[in-house]
Chains A and B, each alone.
Chain A
Amino acid sequence: MKGIISYGAYVPYNRLQRKKISEFFGKLGPAGEKAVAGYDEDSISMGVEAALDCLNGINPHDVDAVYFATVSSPYKEKGSVGTIATALSLKETVRGIETASSLRSGTSSMLSAQPDEKTLVIASDCRTGAPTGQNELWFGDGAVSFLMGSGDNVIASMVDQGSLQGEIISQWRSQEDRFTQTWEERLGSTVFLKQVKETITPFLERNSRSADSLSKVIISGPGIRAHSQAASALGFKKEQLENPLFDSVGDTGNAHAPMMLVSALETAKPGDQLLVIAFAEGLDYMLFEVTDAIKELKDRKGVNGCLAFKNDQILYSDYLKWRDLIETEPARRPATDRPSAPALYRKHRQNLSFTGSKCRRCGTARFPHQRVCIQCQAKDEMEDYCFVGQSAKVMTYTLDHLAASPAPPMIVAVIDFVHGGRIICEVTDCSPAEIEIGMNMEMTFRRLYEAGGISNYFWKARPIRQKESV
């Protein structure tokens, strides 16, 4: 029986308080906050971060297939799987597909995973609602990843699964639309309720599960209320309903139901039964049974780890700038050139998987890859050396107010890796007041910029934040 072997999550460090949006437009609005991708993040970069969390302790070469589920791919034409597979150091022969446009792609990818393979599912979204609208308030950004497969290390077995194709225009965005459009919410919620009653009740009967036998019910429906209506229609109590994360993250599109599932797994015990229902033009549904193996799962950030640290002081104007929703005075600096495709091609492995070189003669590690060793001058005595996951410290730094940046000042630091090697790079998810010499850092996968329609992905440093005992 197939199931979940491992999970990971990524919620961006930046959170926008909803009242700041409402206040800007002179209205009263809902409480809570939404997770906002930084100016250097998108569905690919967040997806890679979630997958790195998921693959903690797992050999990336063991992955047979990768599914990337998003409706907010940076390209309308050009796949993301090559970028993701390289960033994660998956084997070159990994099978991969990008499942775009459906908000059920994340759960459908989980359904499609084959029991005899190890499938890495990544669901990630970064959607933009039109300013003043409900979608802007409730959408959030984030990503989730599962490694699916079979065997003793499955932490949650997929007892049963199913799909319902139920065509409806509820939420949509055309090739030309910039923002997601939504029909009157009651249409979607009425149809959703009908689909749930007609489908899930027999599904539970088929599996001999009563409502009270389930530990958690994970429901992602249309809008922000339908999930609780569906739960009570099915006879579930309030405490069985998994928190939809609207207050802390928002509706993360393809990642929404999967992210709630990760949340549920973070507190699950062996034997727990978990029901997942995801809506978009019909339903995907899954029944999981948590196994003893969950006790052996290595520590990871997950949803809770990400929620523990945040910058909730960003302004609505920051968000508008980062999303290119307002035009601002350009910096008096040269425009960013489109990166050279041949140069990107030559260095794609080095840049995306952050692999430098280690000199076989003197043993010193460097990034980027060098032909001649700077320590012992040996020529072409290098082997590949990956810096991902290595801890590092700030050697010195600066706050660059002159450099063109969507969030000035640009923090630039000289980063020394604990096991050797140095990089001078931008520091992200860090306030200028925080940075100091000796600070512990780790590398994070980011989109540096888009120029000429090309998104350029690379790594930046971010502070390692220890759990505060608040």
Chain B
Amino acid sequence: MKWIGALLFIGTTTWLGFEWSQNLTKRPKQIRQMKNALQILEAEILYSQLPLQEAFETIAKQIPEPSKTLFKSMSVSMEQRNIEFVTTWEKAVEELINISSLGSNEQEILNQFGRTLGQHDFTQQQKHIQLTISHLERELQDAIDDQNRYSKMAKSLGFLCGLFIVLLLI
């Protein structure tokens, strides 16, 4: 009986460790996705001159989950016209953060970006998009560093922690 409990416990901690390491690997990928999305947005604004709602719709079609969620939900809520843009954006960003591996830094960057969206002329808007992309780029570097440094460790740490506690308890 004791052994089964111990095995289960070690199993759980190992799983937690893997989850953590998964998160570390997914984060750079998702930041890259977000950068892609912003590049598409820039093109849609500058060359197609689409309104934001339609631009969001196009982006949602082109990028994978989870970043898709943000643009999808924005394009849906913007169909209804009398909304407060900034609050809607922030809500959608929060939703994205909850379901993705993105962290609070990314949330802050995206929120800041939302406040500039649609309030400027072409050149200004482009500058804001570029700025956001470069912010994300920095986060991406950090995320890659974190991944290299901790992802392998996270995997073994989960297992070892479990083992350690089990040994203590026996």
State yes or no: do A and B come from one complex: no
